[in-house]
Amino acid sequence: MDEADGYFGERVAAAYDESSGDMFEPGVIDATADFLAELAAGGRALELGIGTGRVALPLARRKVPVHGIDLSRAMVARLRAKPDGDAIDVTIGDFATTKVDGTFSVAYLVFNTIMNLTTQAEQVACFRNAAAHLEPGGCFVIEVLIPELRRLPAGQNVVPFQVSPTRWAFDIYDVATQATSSNYIEVVDGRGEYRSIPFRYVWPSELDLMAQLAGLRLRERWDGWTRDPFTSESRKHVSVWEKPAD
Tell me if 34 sits within 8 A of 224, measured CB to CB: no
Asked if residues 178 and 201 have their Cβ atoms less than 8 Å apart, the reply is yes
Q: For 183-210, write each residue's pLDDT tens digit.
A: 999 998 899 999 999 999 999 999 999 9
**138 touches 40 (CB < 8 A):** no
CA 66 distance to own-chain centroid: 16
**For 203-218, what is the mean pLDDT?**
98
Q: What value does the mean pLDDT take over residues 156-165? A: 92
Q: What is the pLDDT at residue 21?
A: 66
How does pLDDT run across 131-149, given as a tens digit for each residue?
999 999 999 999 999 998 9
Instruction: Report pLDDT for 143.
Output: 98
For residue 3, what pLDDT is reported?
53
Whether residue 160 has pLDDT greater than 60: yes
Parse the chain into domains and list their residue ranges: 3-147+202-242, 149-197
Position 202 scores a pLDDT of 98
Q: How far apart are CA 11 and CA 210, in angstroms?
A: 33
Find the mean pLDDT for residues 103-131.
Answer: 98
Strand runs labelled E in the chain: 45-48, 66-70, 89-92, 104-109, 134-145, 158-163, 167-174, 179-188, 191-200, 217-222, 236-242
Q: Domain 3-147+202-242 - what CATH class?
A: alpha beta
- For strands 104-109 and 217-222, give the pairing: unpaired
pTM score = 0.93
Q: What is the DSSP string of 116-165?
A: GS-SHHHHHHHHHHHHHHEEEEEEEEEEEEPP-GGG--TT--EEEEEE-S
Q: Which candidate, 22, 27, 87, 9, places its Cα nearest to that of 53?
A: 87
Q: What is the pLDDT of residues 19-57, one digit of tens each?
A: 766 888 999 999 999 999 999 999 999 999 999 999 999
Is residue 106 within 8 Å of residue 131, measured between CB atoms? no
